[in-house]
Chain A
Amino acid sequence: GENVEQHPSTLSVQEGDSAVIKCTYSDSASNYFPWYKQELGKRPQLIIDIRSNVGEKKDQRIAVTLNKTAKHFSLHITETQPEDSAVYFCAATFDNDMRFGAGTRLTVKP
């Protein structure tokens, strides 16, 4: 089955700086890569996703890139704000099997 590795496990940045979270996956057939943000005590919520026929997608301060050859994808957050502090999960999906990374705890210091 699919195996997703996520790095780093914790990330601390200064407000206004950029944050990058990286994930690798093992199954080359995976075709859908969502990113979820989970605030303390809340449910995971989709913030951005990318499909395998696209190399990059951007939504305001958030962007995701996908390298199918290398089987890795990354989340980029620019101009970070304290409200970006949360745990971020990447996931990779083939068919109906969605596997999550272990999560990255992002702290944005004011």
Chain B
Amino acid sequence: DAGVIQSPRHEVTEMGQEVTLRCKPISGHDYLFWYRQTMMRGLELLIYFNNNVPIDDSGMPEDRFSAKMPNASFSTLKIQPSEPRDSAVYFCASRRQGSTDTQYFGPGTRLTVL
């Protein structure tokens, strides 16, 4: 099992540019989560999907952020336009159906917006 896969691992961009982060969950997992981690705010849940359907996006900071899951093996988190305060590590995580099943994190994408 390859685990949760994220790309790119590092992204450096300039303010105003569009950024797209990608995630491939573990095969067979029904839930996919996007988190943002910063020193100031810790680990924040941005949005999660169940069977490719967005269930709760209340953590998405503003309209500049959007997420999609076109199929069971792929999800994207897009920021447009990006701002310096979006600089953070973005983690994708997935788990099976049960709410007490283990949630596995991807390696993260370190985003730097200049």
Residues of A whose CB lies within 8 Å of any CB of B are 31-32, 34, 36, 42-46, 49, 51, 89, 93-103
Contact B55 A32 (CB under 8 A): no
Is B61 an interface residue when CB atoms closer than 8 A count as contact?
no
Contact B45 A44 (CB under 8 A): no
User: In the assembly, what is the distance between CA of A55 and CA of B99, in Å?
Assistant: 19
User: In the assembly, what is the distance between CA of A99 and CA of B103, in Å?
Assistant: 12
Within 8 Å by CB of A43, from B48, B56, B107, lies: B107
User: In the assembly, what is the distance between CA of A46 and CA of B100, in Å?
Assistant: 13
Residues of B whose CB lies within 8 Å of any CB of A are 31, 33, 42-43, 45, 48, 50, 55-56, 91, 99-100, 102-108
Contact A34 B103 (CB under 8 A): yes
With contact pairs A44-B91, A98-B45 given, residues A93 and B105 touching in the complex (Cβ less than 8 Å): no
Contacting residues, chain B, for A51 (C-beta < 8 A): 100
Within 8 Å by CB of A93, from B42, B43, B99, lies: B99
Contact B103 A98 (CB under 8 A): yes
